[in-house]
Amino acid sequence: MENDITLTSEPDDSSERESVSASSPRTDRITRWLLVGIGIYSGLLVTLLNTVILASGKTIDRAIILMADGLILFWIVIGGSLTPVLRTKLVPRLAKIPVDWRVRFVLLCTAMALLEEVITTTMTNLAPLFGTTPEEAHITASTNYFTVVCFHSVVVFVPMFIAWAWMLNRWNFSPLKVLLLFGITGSMAEASINPTSLIGGFWVFVYGLMVYLPACTVPGDRPTKPPRWWHYPLAVILPMIAAIPVVPVVVFLRQWLGVELLPGT
């Protein structure tokens, strides 16, 4: 998941250009090690949770952890393993789509989020296989895919992706940093529903993989500035701020149309 980006700057600012090209690989190495650490921590935590919960005999808890295992297996383990190949084979083709790169980025992120929700909704619908019902155990807001993406999750993600398109138009965040930062945003968003999600670790990859490949299609020669330290916390918080105006609209539409979600969502 190495990322090499060539930056353009003002013609008379060669010293800044040199410092950026020298520092980007170094900061990407730090980002990579952070992701490795989060991955190891997540693997240990998920293993521990599986050991404890599956041995507890609690049917509902067992079903939920198995659903989470399915998400981790198909989206993070298998999907993440395919990412280097997709970056080599698919990204160059996506980058040639004749549309403004900001629009393309948002559309591709949305497509990735829609794909991720296919997995989560499928896991929720497998509740009977795990010995319970979707009403009792679920990891999505509904068993209906279109209800999930249109009235709960992806519809709220879109303004987050737009916020990232705006930031990438201004600052040179590498795809690896976009993965980490949006992963942190996603972890915080999940924690707003269930506070224990903040320590889950794997949510970083659930959300981060939505934006990584789309970020790889962003032109490396676009005129941007290197991010300063305060841009990193801003990049975590701004997408959440961008989503706030959408939430009451979605809630109103759910009530107006009589859309019912599963208990606790």
Q: What pLDDT digit, counting tens, does each position of 241-256 carry?
A: 999 999 999 999 999 9
Q: What is the pTM of this model?
A: 0.88
- Banded pLDDT at 193 (limits 50, 70, 90): confident
**Structural tokens at position 25:** 């690989």
Mean pLDDT score of the chain, rounded to an integer?
90
Distance CA 178, CA 168 (A): 9
Average pLDDT on 190-194 reads: 86
**Structural tokens at position 199:** 């320590």
Residue 18 has pLDDT above 60, yes or no: no
Long-range residue pairs from 140-145, CB within 8 A, at least 24 positions apart, any chain: 140/262, 140/265, 141/261, 141/262, 141/265, 142/260, 142/261, 142/262, 142/265, 143/262, 145/117, 145/118, 145/121
Distance CA 106, CA 88 (A): 20
**Structural tokens at position 244:** 């706030």
Q: How far apart are the two ends of the chain, measured CA to CA in Å? A: 34
Average pLDDT on 60-83 reads: 96
- Banded pLDDT at 98 (limits 50, 70, 90): very high
pLDDT > 90 fraction of the chain, expressed in percent and rounded: 83
- Banded pLDDT at 195 (limits 50, 70, 90): confident
Average pLDDT on 87-92 reads: 95
| Of residues 229 and 5, more confidently modeled | 229
